[in-house]
Amino acid sequence: MQKNVILIVPCFNEAKRIDLPAFAKAPENVGFVFVDDGSRDNTSAVIEAGKPSGSTLLRLPRNAGKGEAVRQGMLHVLANPATFPGVIWVGFWDADLATPLTEVPGLVEVLDQSGADLDAVFGSRVKRLGARIERSLKRHLLGRFFTTISDSMLHLSAYDTQCGAKIFKVEAVAKAFGEPFVSRWIFDVEILLRLGRHRVVEHPLSVWCDVHGSKLNIPATSLRIVKDLWIIRGRYQK
């Protein structure tokens, strides 16, 4: 089956925890571009040896941050149509698979049924009856803090911009990823501002689980987020 969904998977020092056999169990129409974001371990070697058939490994010469790793992966897909024939949707997905790949069809269906009305669908971690959303208290509190601050400053009206499961129509990729991002980490907000909130919808996930080994540093991240939001506000309000 042709790979009409390509997911960019940013990786930084993931050699010991990336579950490549799980990626191999993805739906048949889903392919991957793994982007090694200047890892200091043997992430590239591990991925090269175990990546699913038909997947691509892209190596960045130095660590540029998640946003730039995702951006380079997206632009790689656009620049190589012969390598990715028939692609309709391009997204990005966290390497730890906190969002399982079984969620891909549901997100794609939202875009497939939207006609020309939407450019992107963002997975959203809404804890509710019938869903399995297992999120640590510190991550939940940071998420609520971020949502409150970002909505106050940028009027986004989004519940969860930072979930690492997002899919775009290929026609929207250039607009969303053509220019470098201001922030290394909260680039998702910039994507929403570039596309416009009327072109994006949030879709509640059925499953999302914290995975041990996160590189999140709560105090440092909180300060960086506030700083980046001020810069983003100044850039996009112009």
pLDDT tens across 58-70, in order? 999 999 999 999 9
Residues 6+ apart with CB under 8 A from 200: 118, 119, 120, 121, 122, 191, 192
Q: Is the CB of residue 160 less than 8 Å from the CB of residue 143?
A: yes
Q: Is the CB of residue 104 less than 8 Å from the CB of residue 111?
A: no
Q: What is the pLDDT of residues 15-28, one digit of tens each?
A: 999 999 999 999 99
- Residues in a beta bridge with 121: 167, 201
Query: Which of 214, 179, 211, 206 has the alpha carbon at shortest distance from 193?
Result: 179
Q: Residue 106 is part of which domain span?
A: 5-237
Task: Domain count for the chain, please give it.
Answer: 1
pLDDT of residue 110: 97
Q: Is the CB of residue 30 less than 8 Å from the CB of residue 99?
A: no
Q: Which two tokens stand for residue 220?
A: 């440092």
Residue 99's φ and ψ, nearest 5 degrees, are -95, 115
Residue 218 has pLDDT above 70, yes or no: no
pLDDT of residue 184: 87
- Residues in a beta bridge with 59: 36
**84-107: b (≥16 Cβ within 10 Å) or e:** beebbbbbbbbbbbbbbbebbeeb
Q: Which two tokens stand for residue 58?
A: 């892209």
pLDDT cut 70: percent of the chain above it: 95
Q: Is the CB of residue 95 less than 8 Å from the CB of residue 61?
A: no
Mean per-residue pLDDT, 102-119: 96
What DSSP character marks residue 61?
S
Alpha-carbon gap, residue 197 to 226, rounded angstroms: 21
Which of residues 122 and 1 earns the better pLDDT score?
A: 122
Alpha-carbon gap, residue 168 to 177, rounded angstroms: 11
Which CATH number characterizes residue 217's domain?
A: 3.90.550.10
Which pLDDT band, with edges at 50, 70 and 90, does 42 fall under? Answer: very high
> How many other C-beta atoms can be found within 10 angstroms of the C-beta atom of residue 169?
19
pLDDT cut 90: percent of the chain above it: 81
pLDDT of residue 237: 80
**Predicted model pTM:** 0.94
Chain CA centroid to CA 128, Å: 22
Task: Write the CA distances from 31 to 6, 107, 221, integer angstroms.
Answer: 5, 15, 31
- Residues in a beta bridge with 9: 34
Task: Write the CA distances from 92 to 34, 100, 104, 144, integer angstroms.
Answer: 10, 13, 10, 22
Q: What is the pLDDT of residues 138-157, one digit of tens each?
A: 888 888 888 898 998 999 99
